[in-house]
Structures are given as structure tokens and as C-alpha cells.
Amino acid sequence: TVVRTSMQDRLQTLLPQPLQAVLTEVAQLAEQQGWQLYLVGGAVRDLLLAEQPPKLQEFDLVVDGVHTGESEGAALAQLVQQRHPEAQLQIFGQFQTAALLWNQDPVLGTFAVDIATARSEFYPYPAANPEVTASSIRQDLYRRDFTINALAVRLTPHRQRQRQGGELLDFFGGLEDLQQRQVRVLHPNSFIEDPTRIFRAVRFATRLGFEIEGQTERYVRNAISSGIYQQTQGENQKTPALQARLRNELKYIFKTDYWPTALKLLENLDALQCLHPQLNLGQNWWKQSRIVLRWHHSFDPEAKAIPQWLLILEHLLLELPPELAHPVAITLHLSESSQQRLKTLATTQQALAQLLSSAEPRPSLIARQLQQIDLALLLLLAARGDLALRCSIWQYLNYWSQLKPLLNGSDLIRLGYQPGQQFKQMLSELWAEMVDGTLRDRATAEQWVQHQYPLM
């Protein structure tokens, strides 16, 4: 529930003192320039929802200046940095925003203050990247995704009305939506303008335990049935950015523990169509995803081979026919190795199935094949393949790949062999014999080498 105390009180009770001091200082600097300063977005939403001090690390500020078309946001950030040389300053010219980063500061800890210049974004055509022009705070908030993200707190005193800072600006009913616990867009075209918002709606609804408001859900469904996929595929220079943002939204979702709930909601909304119209989660998909995550946890506990979000995303795209999964991976800007896995999984799986179905294949033959495959692909194969394949991969990961060699290069030298190219082959053959269980100790391994590679 939302407590209706003044925002000033909320800021004072919920934010650590040193952070408040920085925000006050930024507001004073803005005021000295004759600008208004607002706290907007996620921080306001989270402060209103919080019962305990929330762990906020990002503060989005908006400066409403005199509209000279110059970047007041960047100018203000520079003024702040002069007072706080310990903060890192980043300026993003294109969007007239600047960020100040405090990284493990002894007093302030790690947090970021983003300062943007009030802007309205007009969309020259649907699904395009926002173009930026200067405008006032109301318009700045109007271009945002949901009412709960379009609340602002004025940090500077109101000039005409002689009010203190701390006033909550709620133009679109965001406060009530927070109370009703619902995600609602500000206007009907929101999802057509920016399809990534479909994924954001689901992410916020799931994360906060909110509903997607009824009319908003209809807008989602309309956007999808109006062929949003085709729009996002169009040949225009804005699409790459859109696809990258879509990938980021998927990443945010799949990084969390609540991803299954979010994905079910996306499925229910037909939103997977945004990735590809033929993408449907088959019956087995959920079962396989539990396997893939369990194996990931066991065999790649530090996620060195692949992060969880990417593993789930690849597993998702693998529900498409092989010839479609790869192009989707390219449009989503997935890495070369991801693309490679999506391209090769089907044929690799077939080749392994063939090997496993031949009459009593030597374990070393199987192990050698598996040795060529990267761990992430092995996890996907284990989850998506049949039981025989899963057992072989299990054996490979747990046992064959862990075998301690009975002999090493120095042993071969001791036995009288000349170091060189051949060592690699000898050691590899020794490994194969161990996998097949024919060599179990050093003495037999030495005899085996001497027999296979007689010294002149």
C-alpha cells in the first residue's frame, strides 16, 4: 500500500543521509541556474512502494531548463562533478543525458545519478527509436512507458507558488495505479511505438506482483495482432537498436528467479511472436528447461561457460526450426558462439544419435565427439536430447572429462621418447584407452605405450 506522506518525508526517512545530501546539492546547483530539477522513474516508484528503506542505486533526474536547446542535463552534471571529483562523469550527447557514478565510495557506496534534460520524444514512425527535442517535465513524463514510472518529485522549490521541494507530480494517475497494483500505459500507441514495452510490462507486473491493467492488456494484444513482428524486422536504421533493446529486456527477465512466471505471461499474451511468429513453447520445453538449469548449476556453477539468461534464451530459440533459430539470433545481436550453437545443435544431435544407436559404440568414440563440443552446447543437448544422449553427456562431464592421465609428457621422456608432435597423439590415445577402461594403472599404461610405439 502507498502511504500518503509528503515525498519530502519519504525521501528523508528512506534514503541514507549522504545520498540525500548529494540530491539536495544537485537541486541547489540547478536552482542557482534557474532550472527545475525532478527525481523521476524507478526511484520514485520504489520509494512510494517501500515499507523499508529500498536498496536504490540509480537515481534518474530530469532538469527542466530554459529550453535553449542546449543540454542543461550535461551542464548540471558537470557542475556537480566539479564539487565531487570522486564521481565519474559520462556524457551521452545524442540523448542529452549525463551520468555521475560513485563507485565504492567510502561514504556514498556505489550508485549512479542520471541527469537528463526534459524532453519529449516524437516517433516519426512506429517502432522507431525516440528522437529527442527539448520540452517540459509533463511531456517528458508523458513519453514514458507506464503510469507507475511516470511519477516525479520536484527537488527544487516551486518558483511561482513559493512551495518547498518535495512535491509529487502525478499527471497520469500513477499513484492510484501503485495502490491498485497495476501496470497501465499512458496512451494507446505505447506498444506500437515501442514493442519492448510489452516485455517491460510483463517484467514489472511479475517483479512487483502487479496485474497488467485490462485496457493495457488489450493494447498489447492489438499491437501483437497488428503484426508487430513484421515492423520490428523492417529494413530501417532504427531496427538494430530496437532489437538490441529487445534482447536486453529478455536478458533482464531471464536473469531473475521469477522468469518462469514472466515467460508464462508472455506466452499467454502471444508476445513470443515478437521474436518470431512461429515461436511456440512445445510440451516438453518446460521440463527440459528445468533440466538445463539444474545441469548448468552443477557443471557451470560460476556461469563461466554461459550465463543463465543466455542459456534460457538459446533454449527458447531452439524451439524454432533450425533454419529460423539462427537468423533470429543474428537479429537479436547474440554473440557468434550463441549463433553457432543455434546453428549446429540439430545436426550435432543427429550425429550423436547415430553414433549412439550403432552396435555397442566404444565409449572413447563417444567421448571424443563430446570433447569437441562446448559446455553450453552440451548442456542444451543433454536437456533437449533423448535419455541415451543425456546419459552419455552425464558420463562425459562427470567421469571421462575428469580422468587424471596415467602418464604425462615427462613420463614419456623418462621412457625414452623424444618430445615432439607425436606426444599429443600418444597422450590422447592413452586417454581413449582409459575411457574404454582398458588401462587402469601406470604400469599397464607404460607397457601399452611401449607396445604401441616401439622405440627404434
Residue 357 to residue 96: CA distance in whole angstroms: 62
Residue 199 to residue 206: CA distance in whole angstroms: 11
CB of 172 to ligand CTP, least distance (A): 11
CB of 289 to ligand CTP, least distance (A): 24
Query: Is residue 243 a contact point for ligand CTP (CB under 6 A)?
Result: no
Please identify, using beta-carbon distances, which residue of 135 and 348 lies nearer to ligand CTP.
Answer: 135
Please identify, using beta-carbon distances, which residue of 60 and 300 lies nearer to ligand CTP.
Answer: 60
CB of 46 to ligand CTP, least distance (A): 7
Query: Is residue 247 a contact point for ligand CTP (CB under 6 A)?
Result: no
Stretch that binds ligand CTP, among 141-149, 208-216, 236-244, 442-450 (CB under 6 A): 141-149
Query: Is residue 194 a contact point for ligand CTP (CB under 6 A)?
Result: yes
Among 16, 42, 260, 307, binds ligand CTP (CB under 6 A): 42
Please report the sign of the dihedral spanned by the C-alpha atoms of residue 111, residue 115, residue 118, residue 119.
Answer: negative
Please identify, using beta-carbon distances, which residue of 153 and 434 lies nearer to ligand CTP.
Answer: 153
Query: Is residue 348 a contact point for ligand CTP (CB under 6 A)?
Result: no
Residue 253 to residue 90: CA distance in whole angstroms: 27
Please identify, using beta-carbon distances, which residue of 42 and 166 lies nearer to ligand CTP.
Answer: 42
Query: Is residue 41 a contact point for ligand CTP (CB under 6 A)?
Result: yes
Among 154, 184, 197, 384, binds ligand CTP (CB under 6 A): 197
Stretch that binds ligand CTP, among 18-26, 191-199, 257-265, 420-428 (CB under 6 A): 191-199
Residues that bind ligand CTP (CB under 6 A): 41-42, 58, 60, 144-145, 149, 194, 196-197, 200
